[in-house]
Structure 1
Amino acid sequence: MKKPILLAVDDDPQVLAAIDRDLRAEFRQDYRVLRVNSGPDALETLRELKAKEETLALVLADQRMPGLEGVELLTHARQLFPDAKRVLLTAYADTEAAVRAINSARLDHYLMKPWDPPEQLLYPTLHDLLGAWQREHKPKYNGLRLIGFQWSPLSHELKDFLSGYLVGYQWLDYETSPEAQELVALKGYQSTDLPLVIAADGTVLPNPDKATLGKHLGLTRTELQAMYDVVVVGAGPSGLAAAVYGASEGLKTLIIERQAPGGQAGTSSRIENYLGFPTGLSGAELAHRAWAQAVRLGAEFLAPQEVAQLCVQDGYKVLTLVDGTEISTKAVVLTTGVSYRTLDVPGIDRLSGAGVYYGAARTEARSCDQQDVYIVGGGNSAGQAAMYLATYACKVYIVIRGASLAASMSAYLIEQISQTDNIELLPFSQVKEVCGQDHLEAVMLDNNGTMEKREARALFVFIGAKPCTEWLAGQVLCDTKGFLLTGRDLVTDARYKTAWKKGREPFLLETCVPGIFAAGDSRAGAMARVASAVGEGSMAIKFVHQYLDE
């Protein structure tokens, strides 16, 4: 972290050198000392420091300077850096003007020249002033900052993206934060350029998409190997497990993820039934640990990036990315997971990302402080989200069509929900419409046959499971719901027998294309549990070895 700055200004070279010498001798351990030899140059320096978002602790300026006197310079300094301490250096003849300036220019102090010895006439005063500044100073956040509008879907998308990769950032709402408005103007941008990402190194990214932001964060690789042993498509629990085992067993392994690691599990606020974590852990934490583990073992990651097409050429598999890049590999493990089904009611498309969210959307929890939120769905993900949101929201309503949660939610979550005062279950209920202009304001609820309009700050949707396999149409065999068929399903069901052409039976997790495997929630018959997904991902690598040894 950069040290705060002490700025000394005097047009007399000898006096300026003496100020610089004395300040450095006493304060250089905790501060940086800058010196400027004229008022106009000092004002320009102040503006540059402001543009660079430097921290200014004190300005020490001589009164009698041509072009811009000390009092006037310190007045400008107060406008640019209102928290910095301002001290006027003056001769005995200008004492009266200095005293008047304490009121008119809001000076903190004035010092007489000469100040020899500084141990008695300079340092005590400056130590007092800097001590007061330190007590009041709030250090500027030096990490990545995201400035946008609370109800902007793109702002929400970037917040989720950064959180998914556990990138620390500061969120600033342009409409409510004067700091955000000042920063945007300071960087030379306008509200139309939002969302705006300001990196720790000062780089500004206006209106970035996830790929641009990922490239800046170093997530997107620019060099890829000519041939991989195995490419894993999707970085949910099964994909991360496949990457860990593939890399640890010496396979040239690449994993491609279009959003953030963890899949649906990565958005869970608390997973309490995963083996080995008796106090539970968040989905993001689990995903980050697995991600770090795979990288340490030698797996390569490409994210955020999406595969558009998969084809087979002379036994090798060729993956074509959305940007046209082609990746060749000997084997593929498909761990594309599932996504939540959309809620088909009036207004849903218009307000998606602006109060209506699919999944936990943990980044929006704080904005729900002391307001009512609604959750649609009765699975474990919905229950975990309800428990997390209950720490912020005034009331959390869980909307389900059935009579209870028993058929779809784990017993430990049902018990926790029943013991949480501000969570209420609404059985035999459905959301029929979402209302609002530029953001969600209310939901129209059919509550056991009675229609009513209720105010709502946010609506979180957790319904159904739609496999992310559309891009594989015509290449790999799926069932009628889009889930990937593997193993014995390809040879025992008469409808699919002709799809398997190889002389041997398919391996347990092998699709109708030899060397292409499926694991996790997108596979037909999967258990939809984190532990089973991890198990399938690791099992898939065993079958990859067997395929490569043929």
Structure 2
Amino acid sequence: MTGHEPGAALVVVARDAGVRTSTTRELERRYGSDYRVVAGTGPAEVQEALSAAGDPPVAVLLGGLGEADPDGLDVLRVCHAANPGAVAVALIRWGAFETARPIFEAITVGQLDRWVYAPQGRADEEFHRSVTEILDEWSSRQGGGFEAVRVIGDRWDPHAQHLRDQLTRNRIPTGFYEAGSAEGRALLDDMGLAEPRLPVVAVRFRPEQTVLQAPTDLEVAEAFGLFDPLDTTAVHDLVVVGAGPAGLGASVYAASEGLDTLHLECEAVGGQAGTSSLIRNYLGFPTGVSGSRLAFSAYQQAWAFGTTFSFMRTAASLVTENGLHRITLNDGSVVQGRTVVVATGAAWRRIGVPELEAFTGRGVFYGAAVSEAPAMAGRHVFVVGGGNSAGQAAVYLSRYAEKVTLLVRRASLTETMSDYLIRELVALPRVEIRYRVQVVGGSGSDVLETVVLRDLDTGAETEDAGMLFVMIGSEPRTDWLAGTLARNRWGFLLTGSSLTTEDASPAWPLDRPPALLETSTPGVFAAGDVRQGSVKRVASAVGEGALAVTLVHAHLAELSGAAAGT
């Protein structure tokens, strides 16, 4: 232990003396100056050690599992019940393959967060990489630490909620302070703001602090240095519109293959996937990855390959002349591309109950709204929806809320939600699933306080206290393309064979058949949730983005051939 007072605890609980000793040694060596390292052979011994250390919060519980600890998962559950805010991690020896099935089953039903191999020797960097990721996950749950941006406002103000959610999804370290609290008033006084227009945003990572009052998204982007002027004379090989998984997939592959790529995003990277607290079924992440982390990593990857990103500008219209596509943005600027990938995704469908719409951002939230999860501590939360996004939100919110009730209109989840997620929800003690029920009303003063539910079989209505997270499907973001690209009656873009088998308007104009992801305008492609017939999975969206780039290359080659022929 070092001379100054460390903070949270890293706990190792294992009977296997070798595993316990080597793990404790490595943790103390690498993290001892910032964390208390506590070890024991069982729950009683661990609790005694924590009490002796002053009962610090527990960040990580590493529980041994193997020949010497056959009941290790049960021991870990007991420890976790006493420290529910900790990340629960199974600790195993390399080669203990018999532990695989119980570990995967425990992760599937939400009784375990991760697993790691015990360190094999001094400075085992593979072990420390895993521990660092685990600590990052725990830290992101807690908030606090470095604050690149501070937001001061009313917690239930929709504008403040929107700003916090955007900053959180873009993985910007953000501190939020109630304007009426002592800390909030002190910060406003320091800024010289006696009667501020809320919310106030203080940008602290620039050379000089910038203070914005009730800022628009464009003003925030400009203060961040993200709102660089666009070169309206440049003709890009590819313009990607929308930075969800499909758009980011297209951007990474296009830029890595040498295409001059411009990427437009009106909000935060990640789209709907960016709001998912944990995506468990994405290839290559056996213990899951948050949507925001996956999206931000993809953004960094595309940027490193040379993609030019433009944030906080919304595409307003698309015009094609002589094979050149011009996109007009909401600030009046125009960008040009030889090809376009439309990956604008979809927006959450509104619940359609007038009295609830009035509480948007004040107890009614669309999407996971991950920045609001800590504020749900001690509350009853209702999650509306039967898809994977709703299930993931329910799991995440259960870490904070006293109770989470998932409200489903159907009689079953089997057709709309992944099996692993259903099993996890059923196993979580704080989560209840109610079938054949609909939200029909709600009330409150400053924030939503009660929700009215109707049983769809009996018609009986009940009133329950709680707040609402709504994920009931999505509507494609294609209004700006109405009359320009062919859409189905729900607004999804028609692509490929759909343009010839359906009554598409505008009709496909060429003799050759449209490419698989090509829209009714040659050289304009669609990928991800914006497209009719897309598979609502992150992996398939990324795949469509990559496939679109292959089609882009083919179209550019066609343009070059036509130019050479003339």
Instruction: Please give the TM-score of this superposition, normalised by the length of structure 1.
Output: 0.73
Match of 2:446 among 433, 438, 446: 438
* CA positional deviation for 1:379: 0.4
Q: Is the 8 A contact 2:528 2:541 kept in 1?
A: yes
- The residue number in structure 1 matching 2:490 is 481
- The residue number in structure 1 matching 2:527 is 519
- The residue number in structure 2 matching 1:379 is 387
Does 1:216 find its partner at 2:223? Answer: yes
Match of 1:288 among 290, 296, 301: 296
Amino acid at match of 1:488: S
Partners of 2:425 and 2:542 in 1: CA distance = 27
* CA positional deviation for 1:339: 1.2
Partners of 2:474 and 2:331 in 1: CA distance = 28
* CA positional deviation for 1:311: 0.4
Distance 1:487 1:203, change over 3 A: same
- The residue number in structure 2 matching 1:148 is 153
Partners of 2:341 and 2:158 in 1: CA distance = 32
Amino acid at match of 2:446: D
Partners of 2:146 and 2:371 in 1: CA distance = 19
* CA positional deviation for 1:497: 8.6
* CA positional deviation for 1:182: 1.5
Instruction: After superposing the two structures, state which structure 1 stretch, 270-279 or 198-207, moved more.
Output: 198-207
- The residue number in structure 1 matching 2:211 is 204
Partners of 1:531 and 1:372 in 2: CA distance = 33
| Structure with the greater alpha carbon radius of gyration | 1
Q: Is the 8 A contact 2:315 2:329 kept in 1?
A: yes
Match of 1:471 among 470, 480, 494: 480
Match of 2:198 among 185, 194, 204: 194
Q: Which runs of 5+ in 2 are unaligned?
A: 1-143, 559-566
Q: Is the 8 A contact 2:264 2:313 kept in 1?
A: yes
- The residue number in structure 2 matching 1:179 is 183
**SS in structure 2 at match of 1:532:** helix
Which deviations, in whole Å up to 9, do the C-alpha atoms of 1:319-344 show, x marking residues without a partner? 00000001011110000101111001
- The residue number in structure 1 matching 2:93 is none
**SS in structure 1 at match of 2:448:** coil
Q: Is the 8 A contact 2:146 2:173 kept in 1?
A: no
* CA positional deviation for 1:466: 0.7
Partners of 2:148 and 2:317 in 1: CA distance = 37
Distance 1:191 1:156, change over 3 A: farther
Does 1:534 find its partner at 2:542? Answer: yes
Partners of 2:532 and 2:168 in 1: CA distance = 30
Distance 1:503 1:140, change over 3 A: closer
Q: Which runs of 5+ in 1 are unaligned?
A: 1-138
The 5 A counterparts of 1:351-390 are 351-390=359-398
**SS in structure 1 at match of 2:529:** coil
The 5 A counterparts of 1:76-95 are none
Match of 1:337 among 333, 345, 349: 345
The 5 A counterparts of 1:444-459 are 444-447=452-455, 449-456=459-466, 458-459=467-468
**SS in structure 1 at match of 2:183:** helix
Q: Is the 8 A contact 1:417 1:423 kept in 2?
A: yes
The 5 A counterparts of 1:239-278 are 239-278=247-286
Partners of 2:538 and 2:414 in 1: CA distance = 20
Partners of 2:239 and 2:363 in 1: CA distance = 36
Q: Is the 8 A contact 1:346 1:432 kept in 2?
A: no
Partners of 1:381 and 1:498 in 2: CA distance = 34
The 5 A counterparts of 1:282-321 are 282-321=290-329
**Number of residue pairs aligned between Structure 1 and Structure 2:** 409
Partners of 2:365 and 2:506 in 1: CA distance = 42
**SS in structure 2 at match of 1:453:** strand
Partners of 2:165 and 2:195 in 1: CA distance = 21
Q: Is the 8 A contact 1:426 1:447 kept in 2?
A: no
Instruction: Please give the TM-score of this superposition, normalised by the length of structure 2.
Output: 0.71
Percent of residue pairs identical? 44
